[in-house]
Structure 1
Amino acid sequence: MPQSILDTMPTLSMANSGKADFAQALGESFHRFGFAMVRDHGMDRALIADGWEKAKAFFALPEAAKQAYNAAANGGQRGYTAFGTEIAKNATENDLKEFWHVGRDLPTGDPLAATMPPNVWPQEIAGFQDSFTRLYAEFDRVGGLLLSAIALYLGLPEDWFAEPVHNGNSILRLLHYPPVSADAPGVRAGAHEDINLITLLLGAEEGGLQLLTRDGHWLPVNPPEGALVINVGDMLQRLTNHVLPSTSHRVVNPPPERRGFSRYSMPFFLHLRPDFIIDALPQCVSADNPRRDPPISAHDYLRQRLMEIGLIMT
């Protein structure tokens, strides 16, 4: 029986340790697991609770009302993506989920606006736009603090990531996994790695998240209440020449007695700005770890993955 991740991975505090100590602990957790768990992040608990309430209210709307905000026209980047649309890279079955995407609003005339469609907002849920605009900003803020720690771990200036992520194409995803039948086979979300720089995940009421360890075992991820689960994405893996690895993870079906309950989660996919060129950091390239990937823009890299997971066709 595999151990819980709580038996092997510490929950790190963003408040009770110095910058250097936190950076070292975060980097070591990423290096070993591709994941970390973080508490004392300072996100407003009342705002988070309000976000859960509004997300559940949206997913409870009739299908026709949700489809009015279908995100197919913008590659799934803003608005609603229906149940069963997304598929993990190289998977044979679509995921058992529906979701809503909130992105960054850029000022009119911004040169990056062509790579980021404008947000859409459901009119049926009062305060939805205000709540998730504020939550997006909170995730952005905490993500910046985590990137500062990653920079220190890599021997970079603390503010190294500030410009690469300025006006980045980050996405706040509201996820709903509807109930499944007691004898349902398979998983709710197939094994995959995230495309972005880092992912910040607010927990789920129903379990199921698992990560793949280096020795090939699936380890359950059940963070303490209120903690964030942070994982390395493919962009950071590529930038660090795989020194910080992007780890496969999945969401499995719960025990049969819990399959009649929905699962909700709220990941924030922190992205580089679309015009940033992802190229291996010199300090991450050596004779023992030669350069693995050619340079590519963050925008082109994202488009590759969106095609692989079925959100855009060309």
Structure 2
Amino acid sequence: MTTPFTVPTVDISAYVGAGTAEQRADTARAVDDACRQVGFIQVTGHGVPDDVVAGLAAAMDDFFALGLDAKLAARAPAGANRGYTAPRSESLSLSLGVESAARMNDFFEAFNVGASASDHPGLGLDPQTYAENLWPEVDGFRRRVQRYFGEAGRVARTLTRVFADALGLEPDFFGGYTDHSIDVLRMNNYALPPGTVDLDGDLTGMGEHTDFGIVTVLWADQVAGLQVLGSDGGWHDVSPADGALLVNLGDLTARWTNERWLSTLHRVKPPVVDGSICRRRSAAFFHDGNADAVITTLPGCSGPGEPELYAPTTVAHHIAAKLAGSRAGRLNPAAPREAARVLAARTSA
């Protein structure tokens, strides 16, 4: 009998507060199970205040309510993963080296902020990889977004501490790979004026993809649209539980663990009701690691019968190849394993 697809719920409060060693061990085991079986987790007990989440949502509403010209004024220079992204200017499936049914079909619009070189003075970080942020002229936008950015970053770092325990690593293992992490908060909006897109059966809010880095912390409306690829080869609807943040692993963690843990394919297919797209908002915090960090298979994750599936790579090289697909429209040839899963899912759909 096939086990129904579910995203496990894990309370991480033992790592946020003063949990006992036994409570932390229970949490680490639950995270290990979720990462092996699904690659997505409903995380509760994260400690993000409600007013911070409400502030983020209000800031997004204020920005995306602007006219298109005002939003386009906040576009970043070419190659910088910052600022406004207009509808139909990206194709996430290309980040895996897979053609969409229609190139540049993803109709979401987004606004990105992230860690900048000026946040880490003296390190000589690449000013494009660690680009400076562009802040729109929206009252309170920067303050509200920065508050949430800080909280989401704390949750991501807490999770890597849980990961270290779950994988039997030193508690500060991930700290050496993330002390100047490429962290990006991408705020997405899926409501567009009538006539902007054709409401047909191939409508794609965000194409199938895996996330690029270590771990993603997602806040989202409880609106249908997010779909996760299950082990059965089918797509399953997922939305955040009350008070939860959705967490999923990125490619670098799959590489580290030799796919013992999953970087799970997902996409957004927002619902169309009475000829209109139901509005959906989400904000994904990507904790991607230091640009110069070298990712190799962790001890104990390869050996007899478990050959290493990936060659070593730097975070910067991996992220650049993925972004060249999604944002520059070039097929990424360096993701054959992920591309094979996309194609298998399309065949079984």
| TM superposition score normalised by structure 2 | 0.83
1:33 aligns with 2:38: yes
Structure 2 residue 12 is the aligned partner of structure 1 residue 14: yes
Partners of 1:258 and 1:219 in 2: how far apart?
23
* Residue in structure 2 matched with residue 65 of structure 1 by the alignment: 70
**Aligned partners of 1:69 and 1:80 also within 8 Å:** yes
The residue type paired with residue 109 of structure 2 is: E
Q: Deviations over 1:143-193 (max 9, x none)?
A: 111111111111101221112111101100110012477953223111111
Q: 2:134 aligns with which of 116, 120, 133?
A: 120
Q: In the alignment, what sits opposite 1:168?
A: 181
List aligned pairs for 1:198-217, cutoff 5 A.
Answer: 198-217=215-234
Which residue is equivalent to 2:59?
54
Amino acid at match of 2:158: L
Q: Does 1:77 align with 2:81?
A: yes
2:8 counterpart letter in structure 1:
P
Structure 1 unmatched ranges of 5 or more: none
CA RMSD of aligned residues (A): 2.2
Look up the match of 2:164.
Answer: 151
Name the SS of the counterpart of 1:241 in structure 2: coil
Match of residue 100 from structure 1: 111
The alignment status of 1:196 with 2:196, answered yes or no, reads: no
Alignment check: 8 A CA contact 2:221 2:240 kept: no
**Maintained 8 Å contact 1:236/1:244:** yes
Which is further off, 109-118 or 233-242?
A: 109-118
Match of residue 90, structure 2, among 80, 86, 89: 86
Is the aligned partner of 1:184 residue 2:200?
yes
The question of whether the paired residues in 1 share the 8 Å contact of 2:223 and 2:239 is answered with no
Distance in 2 between residues matched to 1:300 and 1:312, nearest whole Å: 17
SS in 2 for 1:80: strand
- Which string of whole-angstrom CA distances, capped at 9 and with x for unpartnered residues, describes residues 197-239 of structure 1? 1111112242111111112011111221220111111111111
1:75 Cα shift? 2.2
Q: Deviation at 1:56?
A: 1.1
Cα distance, 1:119–1:234 mapped onto 2, change above 3 Å: same
Residue 193 of structure 1 contacts residue 233 of structure 1 at CA under 8 Å; is this kept in 2? yes
Separation (CA, whole Å) in 2 of partners of 1:203 and 1:258: 23
* Deviation by residue 1:114-137 (Cα, 9 ceiling, x = unmatched): 3311111001x1111111112111
Q: Is 1:183–1:256's contact at 8 Å kept on the other side of the alignment?
A: no
Whether the aligned pair in 2 keeps the contact of 1:198 and 1:233 (CA below 8 Å) is yes
Offset from partner CA, 1:3-53 (integer Å, 9 cap, x none)? 985xx3331111267111111101111100111111111001101101101
Between the aligned residues of both structures, percent identity stands at: 31
Aligned residue type for 1:152: D
Q: Secondary structure at the match of 2:33?
A: helix
Match for 1:85: what amino acid? Answer: S
Query: Counterparts of 2:282 and 2:318 in 1: how far apart (Å)?
Result: 25
Is the CA contact (8 Å cut-off) linking 1:96 and 1:178 kept in structure 2?
A: no
Structure 2: runs of 5+ lacking an equivalent:
333-349
Which amino acid in 1 is paired with 2:75?
N
Return the alpha-carbon distance in structure 2 between the equivalents of residues 28 and 3 of structure 1.
Answer: 15
Asked if the contact 2:161–2:172 (Cα under 8 Å) also holds between the matched residues in 1, the reply is yes
CA contact (8 A) 1:195 1:233 kept: yes
Q: Which runs of 4+ in 1 moved over 6 A?
A: none
Name the residue aligned to 2:346: none
Q: 1:91 is matched by which residue type in structure 2?
A: E
The equivalent residue for 2:304 is: 287
Structure 1 residue 301 displacement after superposition: 0.8
- Aligned-residue offset at 1:109: 3.9
